[in-house]
Amino acid sequence: MELRNIAIIAHVDHGKTTLVDAMLKQSGTFRENQLVAERVMDSNDLEKERGITILAKCTSVDWRGIRINIVDTPGHADFGGEVERILSMVDGVVVLVDAAEGPMPQTKFVTGKALGLGLRPIVVINKVDRGDARPHQVHDECFDLFAALDADDDQLDFPTMFAVGRDGWADDSLEGPRKDLSSLFDLIVRHVPPPKCDLDAPFAMLATTLEADPYLGRVLTGRIHSGTARLNMAVKSLSRDGDLLEQFRISKILAFRGIERVPVESAEAGDIVALAGMTKCTVADTICAPEAVEPLHAQPIDPPTLAMIFSVNDSPLAGQEGDKVTSRVIGARLYREAESNVAIRISETPGKDAFEVAGRGELQLGVLIETMRREGFELGVSRPRVLFQTDENGKRMEPIEEVFIDVDEEYSGVVVEKMSLRKAELTGMRPSGGGKTRVTFLAPSRGLIGYHGEFLTDTRGTGLMNRVFHGYAPYKGPIDGRRNGVLISNGTGEAVTYALWNLEDRGTMFIPGGVRIYEGMIIGEHTRGNDLEVNALKAKQLTNIRAAGKDEAVKLTPHRRLSLEQAIAYIEDDELVEVTPKSIRLRKRLLDPNERKKADRASKNSD
């Protein structure tokens, strides 16, 4: 059967997953009356809640006797490790662009990777029914973007289609019949070359994604590079350096048919399949016939830019809400994550009860923590820190991100002011349609930690901020951190509403009355710059004197609830976020006030 392998790449929320849904429906993958979830490719709970794609997924459609394998890729730069590996499995890319927003930073990041691999793009300008759509200008912007990314003449001669993925149509021109996606399918078949492969050579396949199946064990997905894979065939796996990892028999071959994986007896070069039977082989390793000696080339992955410490939860409430609390269990889970996600790096700290997890960004690490807490883990998580490098002259270099901000014109001033405080350099400012201004910056990654929440407040929730890793640049000097101190509980027990009401003039509370607190836990933000220990357990004194207004019900100002990402961005270096399946608490790293004073004195003396 003839094959085509394509990836759909685009910026977050430009409609990739919705378009794939429409392609599956129109190719006859679903029955007419079959009940199918919306955004069927975003299958895990976090993807559905956040409305983003986190893991790359494969599917396939049959179009007039030709099988088209489609890979739906993540749109966030934090999950770029997924994108880079996936592109090595395909022979063409569909670049999906919003007709109003145009090519956004994520489009630039992924398209740059695709063009670098020599893939020829098809541009689909989606959402042309929007009131502020400007499809022809967006087409010109795509050309400019490809030219800026050093595309060759073949890549610059790209075909363009106009579409509304939600309504299930795509046409060569805006005046087309707007009936279905058949012209898009035909274009993919014409424009994307069939996979180049040698069926007579020994079997070889590069593993690109890994998952654990409760019945099959390790399952590795990838494209067969040469030869044929057969059930129960003896194979071996080679590391990137060519070292022999293990020898095993293929116990299962799963091919993608629609949204399901179907067991098959054999699969030929060019097809994307999942294999089972291995115990050690992992992502970027080569699975091959016993006579093969050279591993297949694996795409290099950009290095991590942020690191956080994941430690055992040692608070007085430890072990009461989760069942996975020991360093051994936490370490095993993190190393398992690092196997399937090559963009994450795990290292043990000298104390052996904590692990440093390095990754691409706050979102990637936040998703990992959220996944772990849903699995029943309890953790203490530190403030993220950026990973510096040293150049050949011994100069300290820090990661820089390109930041694209779309805001209403009235808020552009405050955004520029706040970004300049974070050592960002303004690189461009232009109108982006609909009364909005697009402002671009080059900013140090450490300056952006925790800024997103403040940005949404400053722009009344109307601003859009996108960021993508740009490179390393010389250290830009110190950046001011949080300006306010915190309110710290000086006792252990249940927070009393009356006590919190009395503390309201001292600052903003993070907790309501009636929750369990402990000594050293952060219960609010102080109005001043210093930390303050407070008593949130003090009940109202009962007297036998009745007076007007004496027994009025206490009304608390609603407390400020921090999400996981906000809590991680809020804390300072001497603080931790305690994460359990039911709670997110802020605390001081050292719970005992005397220990904190000693540590404070020691740090001042060392300075």
Known binding residues for GTP = 13-18, 126-129
Is residue 235 within 8 A of residue 207, CB to CB? The reply is no
DSSP per-residue string spanning 14-63: SSHHHHHHHHHHHTTSS-TT----TTTT--SHHHHHHTS--S-EEEEEEE
Q: Cα–Cα distances in Å, from 594 out to 165, 380, 519, 529, 598?
A: 61, 21, 12, 20, 6
Name residue, tokens 């400020």. Answer: 560
Task: Please report, in range form, the residues annotated as the binding site.
Answer: 13-18, 126-129
3-state secondary structure 258-276: ECEEEECCEEECCCEEEEE
| Cα–Cα dist 567/586, whole Å | 7
What is the DSSP code (8-state) at residue 458? H
Is residue 209 within 8 A of residue 85, CB to CB? The reply is yes
φ, ψ of residue 75 in degrees (nearest 5)? -100, -15
Please report the beta strands in 445-558, taking only residues with DSSP state E, as ranges in sequence order.
464-474, 486-489, 493-494, 507-509, 516-517, 521-526, 532-534
| Cα–Cα dist 435/217, whole Å | 54
CB-based burial of residue 606 (10 Å sphere; 0-12 exposed, 13-18 middle, 19+ buried)?
A: exposed
DSSP per-residue string spanning 193-224: PPPP-BSSSPPEEEEEEEEEETTTEEEEEEEE
Instruction: Name the strands in the sheet holding 160-164, side by side, starting at the edge strand that comes first in the sequence.
Output: 57-63, 66-72, 2-10, 92-98, 120-126, 160-164, 169-171
Name residue, tokens 């890729």. Answer: 73
Tell me the Cα Rg of the chain: 27
- Taking the chain, what is the end-to-end CA distance rounded to the nearest angstrom? 70
Which tokens is 530 given? 């210093």
Name residue, tokens 């994450």. Answer: 344
In 3-state terms, what secondary structure has residue 340? helix
| Cα–Cα dist 419/440, whole Å | 10
What is the DSSP code (8-state) at residue 563? P
| Cα–Cα dist 274/253, whole Å | 6
